[in-house]
Amino acid sequence: MRKVLFSVVVLMTMLQSVMAQRITRTQYIDKYSKIAVREMNRVGIPASITLAQGILESGDGNSTLARRANNHFGIKCHKDWKGESMYRDDDLPNECFRSYKDADQSFVDHSEFLCTHKRYAFLFDYGTTDYKSWAKGLKQAGYATSPTYAERLIEIIEQNNLMRFDKSVEPESTPEERTEIAEQTNNFIEVDVFDMEVSPFGNIKTNNGVDYVEVLPGDNIENIAARYELEPWQLRMFNDIESKSVKLKVGQRLYISRKQSKAEKQYKTHTVKKGETMHDIAQQYAIRLKALYKLNLMEEGTQPNEGDTIQLRRKAKKK
């Protein structure tokens, strides 16, 4: 019994330590906006875009990479890296990530990545005041795999008025000049954007174009909602949860944005397994529960039987 109590005390102390180290989004903006503006003046990337990407990809500077390696953009080592490194499991076990002496170096590395890859050259035609085109262009150029990446950047920018840091500037050099220099020195930076942690508590994943997280020990609706800057009622709504006193299970999937009205194209139907509910199926395919009932012409609240076929998309009309 004493060992159990000791373990609980140690765990609570560790959690308190982690929480004490967390910074808020406002603090992140205050701390790094000057660096983002400086990089905008230097290379022509809107400060709002740089800040929004840093916020999104480092969990407001609270991810393990940001806290321990000053890596705000998840840049991996690759063969040309000569600096310090940090190893952690990612797509593969024990992968190498760049470690910087301070966040300033991480922001510079991020700027150079966008400046020295040809596929991003067209972005610099938008200028530094057109953050919407930049956000959409980054997604178009393949910067991230999330289908909602551009929308999330724009939302962060507008909710936090980050465009106040943007202004029309003439960069110190053109994208063509920077690309030429990079090609001559073979100094290209490779990054796997969405391979990085979004917060120290867990990764944001995507299903059917909808972002979700998995419940960790000690989680409840309130602290998960606060973690991702949502209201508890929003989190319950996104997951079709009616009860305010619902108990979450470790590993349970919780969506942090609105689910879809149908499944992805490859999923047409679902065969009900023993004990499965309509809510279980809706969560598995990221479909709104009400929409799932409507697709199957079922009365809301009724449950399927084992072996039943549930429609996940509308049946194609016969010609």
Residue 302's closest CA among 273, 282, 277?
277
Helix or strand run (H / E) with residue 65: helix 64-69
**179 and 32 within one domain:** yes
Res 136: pLDDT:
92
The radius of gyration of the chain from alpha carbons, rounded to an integer in Å, stands at: 22
Given a contact cutoff of 8 angstroms between Cβ atoms, the answer to whether 250 and 260 are in contact is no
CA distance 86 to 96: 6
Res 316: pLDDT:
63
pLDDT at 4 over 70: no
Res 274: pLDDT:
93
Residue 257 amino acid letter: S
Res 303: pLDDT:
95
Residue of higher predicted confidence among 297 and 11: 297
**179 and 30 within one domain:** yes
Among the ranges given (48-52, 167-171, 276-280), the one the predictor scored with the smallest mean pLDDT: 167-171
pLDDT band at 172 (very low <50, low <70, confident <90, very high): low
User: Model confidence over 69-106: pLDDT tens digits?
Assistant: 998 987 777 666 788 888 876 656 777 888 899 999 99
Domain assignment of residue 209, yes or no: no
Counting residues of the chain whose pLDDT is more than 70, the rounded percentage is: 78
CA distance 62 to 65: 8
Q: Are strands 85-88 and 210-214 parallel, antiparallel or unpaired?
A: unpaired
**31 and 167 within one domain:** yes
- How many domains, in total, are found in the chain? 3
Residue 88's closest CA among 100, 96, 78, 80?
96
Domain assignment of residue 91, yes or no: yes
Q: What is the mean pLDDT of the chain?
A: 80
Domain that holds residue 32: 25-185
C-alpha to C-alpha distances, 271 to 119, 191, 302, 310, 313, nearest whole angstrom: 43, 40, 16, 6, 14
pLDDT at 220 over 80: yes
User: Model confidence over 108-136: pLDDT tens digits?
Assistant: 989 988 887 788 888 988 888 999 999 99
**247 and 156 within one domain:** no
Res 34: pLDDT:
94
Question: How many residues does the structure list for the chain?
Answer: 319
Q: What is the CATH number of the domain that holds 177?
A: 1.10.530.10
Judge if pTM exceeds 0.85.
no
pLDDT at 160 over 90: yes
pLDDT at 312 over 80: yes
pLDDT band at 265 (very low <50, low <70, confident <90, very high): confident
Domain assignment of residue 10, yes or no: no
